[in-house]
Structure 1
Amino acid sequence: MTPMTETERDRDRIQSIERGFAVLLAFDDEHPNPTLAELASVTGLSRPAVRRILLTLQGLGYVEGGGGRWRLTPRVLSIGQHYVASNALIEVAQPHLLRLAEQTHESASLATLDDTEVVYIARVPVRRIMSINVAVGTRVPAHATSMGRAMLAWTTPEQIEQVINSSGMRAYTPQTITDPARFRAELRRVRENGWALVAEELEDGLISAYAPVRDQSGRVVAALASSTSTGRSTAARVEAEVVPLLLRTAEQISTDLGHRAAAPPVVHGRDGFY
C-alpha cells in the first residue's frame, strides 16, 4: 500500500476537533481560569472561534463559565479514566508497583513516551521527594529523565532526533546533559546496560532509576521507575540495591504482558579470552 502524503493526511483530519482539544489543553497551571481573550491568545484562534468551542464544551459538560472566566469541570477526568480502564498495562502493573514500593520504601511509577515527553500512567507514592507535583498524568521532559532514556534507548533514531530538536536539550540543573552527542552516547549505554539512572538532572536532589517494560512482541511500551532523594540515598547505592529489584519487577510485568525473553547465548569455555 502506498503511504499517505501529508496533504492526504491533512484532508482526513477534522479541524474543529483539533481546535476543540487545543482549547481544552490551554487550561493549565498558568491559565486555570482563563478569559476568552486569554484562550484566544494561547491557542492562536480567533475570539469568535474560541467562543463557539467554549459554548459547545459547556453544553457537553466539560467547561463552565462565570464572571468572564472559564474553568474545567470534573467531567474531563472521565477521559483519563477511560484510558486507565481500557489499558491492560496499568492493571497488570499495579500490584508489581505496590510490591516494589514496599521493597524499596520509595515511590514506584510507570510511565510511557508521548511524543517528546514522558507521561506518568501509574504511580504508588511513598513520600514526597520532588518539589513538582507528580501524579498520574504528569508530563516531564524525556531528555532529562531516566524514564525518558529508558524509552528512547529502544525507539527509532528519528524519534530521538525529534526529542533533541524540540527540547533544545534544555538544562534543568547544572547536571543535565545538554550536548546531543553525549546524549546519544548515554542512550547507547542505557541500551547496553538494560536500565537507566539519572541523578539530579531534572531537579536538584532527585535520583531515579528506570527499567524498560516490554509487551508480547518485545516492544518497549513503558518504563518502570523507582525514585529517591540525595538526602536518603546515593546513585551508587540505588544502582547496587534498587536496580536489581527494578529489573526483576520490570521483567515480571513484561512476562504478565506475554513477553518471553530470549534464552541467553551459550558461552563456551574459551570465548572472550582470545
Structure 2
Amino acid sequence: MDAPLKPADDDGPSLLFNQSLEKGLAVLRAFSARRRTMTLADVAAATDITKSSAQRMVFTLERLGYVRKHPQTRRYQLTPRVMEIGFNYLAADPLIDVANPFLSELTKVTTETSNLTEPDGLDMVYVARFVSSQFVPVHMPIGSRIPMYCTASGRAYLSALPEDEALALIERSERVAHTAHTRTAVDDIVDALRQTRLQGYATNSEELFLGDMTLAAPVIGSQGRPVAAVHLVAPTSRWTLDEAVRKLAPTLLQCARSLTTSVRGIG
C-alpha cells in the first residue's frame, strides 16, 4: 500500500488541515502502473478509507474530469486532465528552463541520455530528460521516482547535504535490495557518500535496475544547499564503470558546475 499523504511540515494535527482534500489526493495517487484501473472497493483498499468515502471522492473527481468509468468494465481510471497538475509544476519551475540547454549539450557531447532530478521526500523525481539515440535499458519518463539511497542522483544530492541530514534520510529509507548489487546497509551508503564528496560525483552500477549504470553530480542553489542532481545513463552494454568514470565524469562535472552557477543567478 502506498504511504498516506502527510502535511509538509508534519508537526501534528492542525485545525487548518483538510482531510477531505487529503483523501482526494490519495485516490489520485493510488492509480499507478500496477493499478491502472480500479473498482470502488479497490480504491478504498488502496487508500485505507471506507468504501462510502471512496465513493464520494471518486464521484467528485469524476465530475471534475480527473477520473472516468469504463462503460463496459465499470472500473475507474485516470484521465489526461490529471497531467495538467504535473505540467503546471514543470512550467513554473525556473530550474528546468535553465537546465534544458545544459542537458541538451551534455547529451550531444557524450551521446548518452542526460537527466535532471529533484528531491521529494526520500526520492528523486525526474523533471527533465534528453534521450540518447542509442539504446537505453530503462525508460524513465518525466515524473518517474527513484529512491535516493541506491541511485547515483540520490547519492549526489545526499552528499551535498549536511551529514546529519543525509544520515536521517538514509535511515528513514526502506532500503530494499532491488538487485544483488544494491547497497542497503547504512554504513555502506554513508561510505559511498563520503567518496562522492571527495570526487564530486556519485556512481550507481545496477543497484536499481540490471543493465543500468549512472553517474550523477549535485546542483547547488543560491543558499548553498543542493536543489537537484544531473545524471548520465551509461548502460553496462556499452560501458564499464572505469570507462564511464574516465570518459563521462569530467563532462558531467562541468555541466553540473555550470548549471550551479546559472541557478545561483536566478535566486
* TM-score of the superposed pair, with normalisation by structure 1: 0.88
2:134 is aligned with 1:130: no
Q: Structure 1 unaligned runs (5+)?
A: 261-274
Counterpart of 1:149?
155
Matched, 1:203 2:248: no
Establish whether residue 54 from structure 1 lines up as the match of residue 58 from structure 2. Answer: yes
Q: Who wins on radius of gyration, i.e. which is larger? A: 1
Q: Which residue of 1 aligns with 2:108?
A: 102
CA-to-partner distance for each residue in 1:203-235, whole Å, 9 max, x for gaps?
222110001111222221000000111111111
Alignment correspondent of 1:163:
170
Rounded to whole Å, the distance in 2 between the matches of 1:130 and 1:144 is: 17
1:225 aligned onto 2:231: yes
8 Å CA contact retained: 1:110, 1:120: yes
Match of 2:37 in 1: 33
How many residues end up aligned between the 2 structures?
A: 254
Matches within 5 A, 1:169-208: 169-208=175-214
1:16 to 16, 20, 28: 20
3-state secondary structure, aligned to 2:247: helix
SS of the residue 1:223 aligns to: strand
- In the alignment, structure 1 residue 247 sits paired with structure 2 residue 253: yes
Give the letter for the 1:27 counterpart: F
* Unmatched segments (≥5 aa) in structure 2: 1-8
Which position in structure 1 is the counterpart of 2:11?
Answer: 6
Shift, 1:118, TM fit: 1.2
Distance in 2 separating the partners of 1:221 and 1:234: 29
Shift of 1:237: 1.1
SS of structure 2 residue aligned to 1:11 = coil
Shift of 1:114: 0.9
Is residue 161–residue 225 contact of structure 2 (8 Å, CA) maintained in 1? no
Q: Deviations over 1:35-86 (max 9, x none)?
A: 1110101111011101111111111111111332111111111111100110
- Aligned partners of 2:97, 2:75: CA distance in 1, in Å? 38
Does the aligned pair in 2 maintain the 1:214–1:259 contact within 8 Å? Answer: no
CA RMSD of aligned residues (A): 1.8
Equivalent residue number for residue 63 of structure 1: 67
Q: What is the CA–CA distance in structure 2 between the aligned matches of 1:218 and 1:259, rounded to whole Å?
A: 12
TM-score, length-scaled by structure 2: 0.90
